[in-house]
């Protein structure tokens, strides 16, 4: 096996494989640091339909909060952010779910869900705006499409390597291992990059809507203090709170400059 593997690794095909996978997983940044512009990338009609269908299904399976104050707060923040987020064809919809976990999510087309557990941490409108603007940034950056393409590329890379190694002993197993390794090396890192990008763009949306973007730092300080367990960042799709806080502090002068 070692001899066969050495021969394959010396071949040009495998030498070029990993760069292809890496390039395929990379996506242009939605925020241009040189111009200060945020790229708005509408999702395809098919992806928007899938997002709407998934949101409707979620609303049927998860209890919707009837807390009038919670719903009013989310709608108040959302209505203040929507005018500064110019996403063509967006049909924004914000829903509050009765769920104790401090979480929120977004789907293509402008569907945003906020858990009641998050509202216990994001107590001010500004702190909630940091979360809502972050989720809206995922939508405007079309991160869903990027993740789909990334997943397809990682799977393809593993399949190709498996095929290349098929003549060697345990070639199929090596291909599967390469796919799993690619998921950790590129997939999860790519997800963390999206999260940090949404953090940055979210603070710009906050500033343009008249919120203090520094509230995002306060939010993540509170989130970090509330975390019961800490998954190693390398194996997480989200950055740890300390990383987010550091990156937000570095970006804060840029965000504050756009405050209205």
Report the catalytic residues. Answer: 135
Task: Report the C-alpha gap between 215 and 230 in whole angstroms.
Answer: 23
- DSSP bridge pairs for 114: 96, 104
C-beta atoms surrounding 181 within 10 Å = 14
DSSP state of 64: B
What six digits make up the tokens of 110? Answer: 């402008």
Strands 93-97 and 111-115 come out as parallel
DSSP state of 94: E
Question: 244-258 burial, b for 16+ CB within 10 Å, e for fewer?
Answer: bbebbeebbebbeeb
């Amino acid at each position: 096996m070692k001899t066969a593997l050495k021969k394959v690794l010396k071949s040009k095909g495998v030498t070029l494989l990993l760069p292809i996978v890496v390039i395929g997983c990379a996506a242009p940044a939605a925020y241009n640091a040189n111009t200060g512009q945020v790229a708005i990338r509408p999702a395809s009609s098919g992806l928007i339909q899938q997002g709407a269908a998934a949101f409707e299904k979620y609303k049927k399976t998860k209890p919707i909060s009837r807390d009038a104050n919670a719903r009013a707060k989310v709608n108040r923040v959302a209505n203040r952010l929507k005018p500064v987020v110019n996403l063509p064809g967006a049909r924004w919809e914000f829903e509050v779910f009765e769920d104790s976990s401090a979480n929120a999510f977004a789907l293509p087309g402008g569907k945003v869900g906020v858990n009641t557990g998050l509202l216990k941490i994001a107590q001010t409108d500004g702190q909630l705006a940091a979360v809502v603007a972050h989720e809206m940034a995922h939508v405007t950056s079309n991160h869903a499409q990027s993740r789909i393409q990334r997943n397809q590329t990682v799977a393809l890379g593993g399949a190709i390597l498996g095929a290349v190694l098929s003549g060697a002993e345990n070639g199929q197993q090596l291909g599967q291992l390469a796919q799993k390794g690619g998921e950790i090396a590129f997939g999860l890192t790519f997800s963390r990059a999206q999260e940090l990008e949404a953090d940055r763009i979210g603070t710009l949306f906050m500033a343009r809507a008249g919120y203090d973007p520094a509230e995002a730092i306060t939010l993540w300080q509170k989130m970090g203090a509330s975390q019961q367990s800490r998954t190693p960042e390398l194996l997480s799709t989200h950055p740890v709170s300390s990383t987010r806080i550091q990156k937000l502090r570095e970006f804060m002068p840029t965000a504050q400059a756009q405050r209205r």
